[in-house]
Amino acid sequence: MSDIQIINTDSNNSLTTAIDNLDSNEDIREISAATSSTNLINWGTVSLAWENLSYSIKNRKIVENASGVVKPGECMAILGPSGAGKSTLLDLLAGRKDHKNVSGQIYLNGRPGQIKYVSTYVMQEDAIMEVLTVRENIQFAADLCFPASYSDAERRTRVQDIITEFGLDRVADSKIGSMFIRGVSGGEKRRASIATQVITLPKIIFLDEPTTGLDSAASYNVMKAILQMTQKHKLTVIASIHQPSTETYSLFDKLCILGRGRTLYLGGREEAIRYFENLGHKVPNNSNPADHFLDLINSDFLTDKADAEKYLSEFVNGFEGSEAYEVMKSEINNLIEKHKGDRDTRKISSKTTERYQQSFMRQTYILIIRCFKNALRNILLFWSRVILYVCLGLLMGTAWWKVGFHQTSIFERLTTLYFSIAFLSFMSTAGIPGFLEERYLFQRERANRFYSVGPYVLANTLVSIPFICIITISFACVMYPTVELHSGFDRVAIFTGILFLSLLAAESMVVLIASIFPQFISALCMAAFFNGFWMMSAGYIVRPPDIPAGWKWAHYMDYQKYAYEAIIYNDLSGLTFNCEKLSNETGGGIKQYNCYYGDKSGSSAQFSGEDVLRDLGYDSVKIWLWAIMLVVIMIVCRILFYIILRVRRAPS
């Protein structure tokens, strides 16, 4: 019987299964559900072993013939010089590499298995919301990934426990901190980030360089917290690490030392000193053993390639002929032998087959609360835009102060309205940094199966609505009365409503672009490019009849066209404009008035807004239909956003 015990949380019936023979997707899905829902529960322990693991790219062996074992309660460090293959080995063990380039075996409790369903991979970069407190971040993670059967009190207790385990009590209610808010220290931030990702106590934890960027004291505290958790909960932990200090090094139980993808040593940390001493490389007194090993095996600076190969091969051969190697091999064999008779014992109850802990609606609700808090506190996301738009409203108000009803005001009205749509839409790009930060967190949490794409997209969409509403109203309140556009509640309401829908469409387009181009500069460039493109085809810079036939499609796809035409129609219809007076005399063919629109015979002193709309070709605009078009464009962008997130995986 396997060590892996899965408890059915819904029925409280104990089910036992082995994580093996998971050939069909159905099985994988079931195990995934069961394991993630029971990580916190009495689930047994998992040992990880690998044999003859190799990984090649373009005929180059990045990891070669690696074998090893890590048992529950052990914390192993993967050490090696830069480019030795530490991250690659970690990724291989975590099942994050393309199978077609991988050979060898990975065993969970001595049996082949699907590792990603019993493990968590903690990446180097912090994945945490900077404007939330340490406790809020951990609490949201707990709300998302604990089984629904857990009460609020149980979740809070577990959150407090992990805060204490990671030594974060003192800063539990401090914000993480961003460029605008002074927050916790780098080490505390790293610990909080790790805590949010391992709160379910996955049986195996992979950490990619968890101490990168931290000073030695902070690194020590991070590793100590991880080690305490490893021992307390009998977890299996593997971390790649770059030059640990003596104190940090002393926390590891095991070492795997790599050189150019080959295993130069794998075994106990303390035994490593004796092992290298036997090879004639005694660790000098009062020196850091990790530094000594790394100096010893670093062949990068041997100019002759053959010499470097020979030098490393001596270590590889030395290890393969050593007692440490025999111990490792017999540990792997014992595990395989012990679990030889294990069979996939039972089908897991259908009640445990949900992939996520919370229902779709509950995931959406939790994410809405979190996104809302983030948007409320994250100055970059919306508030910077509110300030910007109010300033812009003031600027426009002073530039086009009370435009009036002379025919020359028509040009000013068209320009003001076009500028309102085009520039405000353009400024949606200000939300890119905040969105990218949130997207990064989404990728990490999705990879750890906290929630699915649908709830995230829905939460992101719904939360943007009230904030864009605030932005639109604050701009309209300043600009509309100062420019003195068409008065009346209904006119103001239509202007604000159309601007609001246009900004929603612009926002949807920006998040879509940023999801396709997730690096800040490329997202910014592409968003600017598309905004420029829509500005050009909206019908103001190039009048609709003059748009070349080959570009007509862009005009009809352009959300700015619908917004611009709708607010022009809203403003001009029902108004009367005065023509330029040329002469007081009448008769004899003398032109009394010069009218830009309407009756141009010279006898008419005024023309209507409808005349202007007809001349410009906007007389067939239907405001409600154009508003629907804006909603359709927004929905299409959001659906594409969903599809992009679904098909795009987090970079490994």
Ligand X SMILES: Nc1ncnc2c1ncn2[C@@H]1O[C@H](COP(=O)(O)OP(=O)(O)OP(=O)(O)O)[C@@H](O)[C@H]1O
- For residue 425, give Cα distances in angstroms to 190, 505, 534, 562: 37, 8, 10, 13
Q: How far apart are CA 596 and CA 580, in angstroms?
A: 9
Which one, 85 or 267, has the nearer CB to ligand X? 85
- For residue 479, give Cα distances in angstroms to 409, 473, 640: 16, 10, 33
CB of 265 to ligand X, least distance (A): 15
Which one, 240 or 573, has the nearer CB to ligand X? 240
CB of 90 to ligand X, least distance (A): 8
Which one, 98 or 304, has the nearer CB to ligand X? 98
CB of 213 to ligand X, least distance (A): 13
What residues between 238 and 297 interact with ligand X by CB under 6 A? 242
Which one, 86 or 413, has the nearer CB to ligand X? 86
Q: How far apart are CA 312 and CA 334, in angstroms?
A: 29
CB of 261 to ligand X, least distance (A): 7
Beta strands in 80-169 (DSSP E): 102-108, 111-112, 119-122
Residue type, 91: D
Given a contact cutoff of 8 angstroms between Cβ atoms, the answer to whether 400 and 394 are in contact is no
Residue 116's nearest CA partner among 43, 200, 45, 205 is: 205
What residues between 61 and 90 interact with ligand X by CB under 6 A? 62, 80, 82-88
* Binding footprint of ligand X, residue count (CB under 6 A): 11
Which one, 61 or 377, has the nearer CB to ligand X? 61
Given a contact cutoff of 8 angstroms between Cβ atoms, the answer to whether 79 and 258 are in contact is yes
Which one, 242 or 329, has the nearer CB to ligand X? 242
What residues between 186 and 245 interact with ligand X by CB under 6 A? 242
CB of 164 to ligand X, least distance (A): 32
Which one, 84 or 523, has the nearer CB to ligand X? 84
Assign 64 to helix, strand or coil.
strand
Q: How far apart are CA 185 and CA 625, in angstroms?
A: 53
Buried b (16+ CB within 10 A) or exposed e, 401-412: eebeeebebbeb
Cα angle 111, 235, 341 (rounded to 5 degrees) comes to 20
Sequential DSSP letters for 409-445: HHHHHHHHHHHHHHHHHHGGGGGHHHHHHHHHHHHHH
Q: How far apart are CA 145 and CA 450, in angstroms?
A: 5
Assign 536 to helix, strand or coil.
helix
CB of 45 to ligand X, least distance (A): 28
With the C-alpha atoms ordered 626, 627, 628, 632, is the resulting torsion angle positive or negative? Answer: positive
CB of 108 to ligand X, least distance (A): 23
Which two three-digit tokens encode residue 357? Answer: 């802990």
Given a contact cutoff of 8 angstroms between Cβ atoms, the answer to whether 204 and 119 are in contact is yes
Which one, 234 or 242, has the nearer CB to ligand X? 242
Site string for ligand X, 7-46 (x = CB under 6 A): ----------------------------------------
Which one, 86 or 189, has the nearer CB to ligand X? 86
CB of 241 to ligand X, least distance (A): 9
Sequential DSSP letters for 211-276: TTT--HHHHHHHHHHHHHHHHHHT-EEEEE-SS--HHHHTT-SEEEEEETTEEEEEEEHHHHHHHH
Q: H-helix or E-strand containing 68?
A: strand 60-70
Which one, 9 or 88, has the nearer CB to ligand X? 88
Which one, 295 or 326, has the nearer CB to ligand X? 295
Residue type, 36: S
CB of 259 to ligand X, least distance (A): 10
Which one, 84 or 255, has the nearer CB to ligand X? 84
Which one, 140 or 206, has the nearer CB to ligand X? 206
CB of 232 to ligand X, least distance (A): 29
Residue with tokens 């990619």: 208
Which two three-digit tokens encode residue 235? Answer: 């977890």
Site string for ligand X, 108-147 (x = CB under 6 A): ----------------------------------------
Which one, 57 or 391, has the nearer CB to ligand X? 57
CB of 444 to ligand X, least distance (A): 19
Distinct helix (H) and strand (E) counts, the chain:
22, 16
Of 1, 13, 57, 532, the residue at the interface with ligand X (CB under 6 A) is 57
CB of 62 to ligand X, least distance (A): 4
Buried b (16+ CB within 10 A) or exposed e, 303-314: eeeeebeebbee
CB of 82 to ligand X, least distance (A): 3
- Beta-bridged to residue 608, according to DSSP, are 576
* Alpha-helix runs per DSSP H in 255-403: 269-278, 289-297, 305-320, 323-338, 360-377, 384-399
CB of 266 to ligand X, least distance (A): 15
Which one, 80 or 202, has the nearer CB to ligand X? 80
CB of 81 to ligand X, least distance (A): 7
Residue type, 594: N
CB of 92 to ligand X, least distance (A): 9
Number of residues that make up the chain: 652
What residues between 510 and 549 interact with ligand X by CB under 6 A? none
Which one, 82 or 601, has the nearer CB to ligand X? 82
Residue 434's nearest CA partner among 511, 492, 346 is: 511
Which residues are at the interface with ligand X (CB under 6 A)?
57, 62, 80, 82-88, 242
